[in-house]
Structure 1
Amino acid sequence: MSNKKILIVMTNVEKYATTNRATGLWLSELTHFYDKIHRAGYDVDFASPKGGYVPLDPHSLRFADETDWALYHDEDFRQIALATSLSVDTIDPSHYVAIYYTGGHGVMWDFPDNQALQKIAESIYQNGGYVTAVCHGVVGLLNLKTENGEPLIKGRHVTGFTNTEEALNRTTKFVPFLTETTLKSQGAQFTKRRFFSSHAVRDGRLITGQNPQSPADVADLLVKALEEN
């Protein structure tokens, strides 16, 4: 692969299916990853299952820092990333060295079963690229297969939003499944650290982060891996 482009994928879902609580993209899981990747010189495309508008989880703004606000106040960034994201149906995976699944609870409804998104990630991986994700975004990995038909995460060291974090967030009864439990049920070697502390793990060309505190570490691991190649 001769290019240096990375595909960032975000949700189109704005509320939980079982309650009127708002959800969407967790802002820092986009901005902290993008900031690191951009500073390292990589080009980025922004996509979502449907394309177009990407809703923000309003709770994420309560925890926004200088990096989050700087990008959120950038009208060009907001327009490209959040208002006019590309539809995954229009994506050519051969253009990318990596895919990054952002989180926010919305992804639990529009990431796992999206076949177009699955094909993109599988193609990038099979072409020697990297599959990366953070927090609830790791649910996008659940149905990915290797070339021999095995689950991509089977036997692999991965992390994601833990059952403890879901309980502390008071959202256990509102999600369609528990991220940690489901990853383990598919044979993943799930690793974790103390709730809401940064944790990212690399297993070959698979890189995952535990929670909203982890996207910058995911980006660092990806940049290091790409530079090694």
Structure 2
Amino acid sequence: MNKKILIALTNTPTYGEKNDATGLWLGEATEFVDEVSKRGFTVDFVSPKGGYVPLDPRSMKRMYVDDASFELYRSADFQERALAHSLRPDEVDAGEYAALYYTGGHGVMWDFPSSEGLAHLCLQIYDNGGYLTSVCHGIAGLLFVKDRGEYLVMGKNITGFTTTEEYLSGHSADIPFWNEKVAQEHGAVFHKKRPFGSYALQDGRIITGQNPESPRAVARLLLKNLDPA
């Protein structure tokens, strides 16, 4: 079995044109990587443009980052391959990966939906029998993908950052769309639990997590499918 997972990250540093910083929510990458790497999986990092990946400064607060995440963040490999020189979609061979994982952070809402390169990789990995996974705002990478003219999420049970969580985050006035609303408009069956509690669910080969507390839950569900021992 292929033991590589592709992780999608954002290149967007601000809330649109506002001078207000956002980017990748660190733990949504590092906690997932920590889980899968302990089971022998390797990861590569891709972003819509390739290259530099900004971090949401709020995600660096100690209350949001566990020890394993800080250890990974300190590593030269993560800083080089994830944050400084992520791959462009056209540099990636989709056939090498058992799964694609969309990380979150508000930045993804601007560049995941419009990335034809990421959408192409998504469909290739899925068509090859691979898994599509996301956490929090990362669901934006799946919501707009069409397969044979229909939204890929149509009829699928999914979750992501909820409308309530957007209001609680303090940035509801800054976002370009509402993930929960778009999911429903595109025919998905949107599930949610209490705000900011870990929650993930699976529908076939699509696994989604609700919020920043959910990357480990997403990883563990994926591992049950890829490495059930």
Deviation at 1:74, TM superposition (A): 1.5
Letter in 1 for 2:91: T
- For the Cα contact (< 8 Å) 2:34–2:69, is it kept in 1? no
Flag structure 1 segments of 5+ consecutive residues without an equivalent. Answer: none
Q: Kindly, what percent of the aligned residue pairs are identical?
A: 52
1:105 aligns to 2:106 (yes or no): yes
Aligned runs of 1:18-167 on 2, under 5 Å?
18-62=17-61, 63-146=64-147, 148-167=148-167
Match of 1:6, SS state, is strand
Task: Tell me which moved more, 15-24 or 117-126.
Answer: 15-24
TM-score, normalised on structure 2? 0.96
Match in the other structure for 2:178: 178
Task: Tell me which moved more, 99-108 or 80-89.
Answer: 80-89
Q: CA RMSD in A?
A: 1.3
CA distance in 1, matches of 2:170, 2:33: 28
- For the Cα contact (< 8 Å) 2:52–2:86, is it kept in 1? yes
Deviations 1:132-158 (A, max 9, x none): 000000000012233x43211111100
Match in the other structure for 1:225: 225
Match in the other structure for 1:4: 3
CA distance in 1, matches of 2:203, 2:228: 15
Aligned runs of 1:190-209 on 2, under 5 Å?
190-209=190-209
CA distance in 2, matches of 1:84, 1:155: 36
TM-score, normalised on structure 1? 0.96
Match of 2:153, SS state, is coil
Deviations 1:166-208 (A, max 9, x none): 0001111100001111111111100011000000010000000
Letter in 2 for 1:219: A
Letter in 2 for 1:227: D
Deviation at 1:221, TM superposition (A): 0.5
Letter in 1 for 2:135: V
CA distance in 2, matches of 1:28, 1:199: 15
Query: After TM superposition, what 4+ stretches of structure 1 lie above 6 angstroms from structure 2?
Result: none
- For the Cα contact (< 8 Å) 1:159–1:209, is it kept in 2? yes
- For the Cα contact (< 8 Å) 1:18–1:174, is it kept in 2? no
CA gap of 1:73–1:228, structure 2 versus 1, over 3 A, is: closer
- For the Cα contact (< 8 Å) 1:102–1:136, is it kept in 2? yes
CA distance in 2, matches of 1:198, 1:83: 29
- For the Cα contact (< 8 Å) 1:93–1:123, is it kept in 2? yes
